[in-house]
Amino acid sequence: MKNLKKEIQKQVEEYCVQEEMTDVFVLEVRLEKGKNLKVFLDSDESLTFRKCTRISRHLEEKIEEGGWLPEKYLLEVSSPGADKPLVNKRQYPKHIGRTIVVETAIEKIEGELLSVGPDSIEIEFIKDRKKKLVERVDVAFDKIKKANIIITINSKKK
C-alpha cells in the first residue's frame, strides 16, 4: 500500500480524539523492509506505556482488517527516545525549564527554554561566564534546524 504511512497516521489521529488520548500525537511513521512498521508518538504531558499499548492494539486491528501488511509483520509503537531531536512544535512546552540546544543555519544556542509561543521559543543562555552576563533570545520555529533537550540527572551526595 503506497500511502500506508499516511493511513497509519490518520488511524492514530482519529483514535486519539478519545478522552485520555487527546494529548498524544504522531511524530513519525516508518515502514522498513515492507513488514516492519514503527510508529513514534509523543504527548503533551506524558506518553505512558498504557497509551502506546492501546494505540498498538488499535493499529493491529486496522492492519489485519485491511490486509495492509503481510501476515507476519512487526509493529512497534513507542516514543522516539530522550536523545532524539524535537521535530514537532507540540514537543516544546513540556520542556520549559530544561536545557535545550538549538541549531540554526548561523548559530548554536544552549540554554534554558523559558517559553514557547506560536511562532518561536525563548531561550536564556550565558553570554559571558566571567562577567556573568545572561542573555535571552527568541528563535523562530522556521529557523530551527535541530533542537535537542539535554538530559541531566540530579543527584544529591550525602
The grid coordinates of residue 146 equal: 535541530
pLDDT for 112 equals: 96
**Is it the case that residue 59 has pLDDT exceeding 60?**
yes
Region label for 3, one of left (φ > 0), alpha (ψ between -120 and 50) or beta (otherwise)? alpha
- CATH 2.30.30 for domain 89-149: yes
Rounded-to-integer distance, Cα 88 and Cα 69, Å = 28
On whether the CB atoms of residues 126 and 111 are closer than 8 A, the answer is yes
- Record the pTM: 0.84
What's the pLDDT tens digit per position in 139-149?
Answer: 999 999 999 99
User: Average model confidence (pLDDT) for the chain?
Assistant: 92
Coil, helix or strand at residue 40? strand
Comparing 94 with 130, the larger pLDDT belongs to 94
Q: Quick one: average pLDDT of 50-55?
A: 96
pLDDT for 155 equals: 58
**Is it the case that residue 156 has pLDDT exceeding 70?**
no
Each domain of the chain, given as residue ranges in start order, spans 4-78, 89-149
User: What letter represents residue 144's amino acid?
Assistant: I
Q: Quick one: average pLDDT of 122-146?
A: 91
CATH for the stretch 4-78: 3.30.300
Comparing 81 with 24, the larger pLDDT belongs to 24
User: What letter represents residue 116's amino acid?
Assistant: V
The grid coordinates of residue 3 equal: 500511502
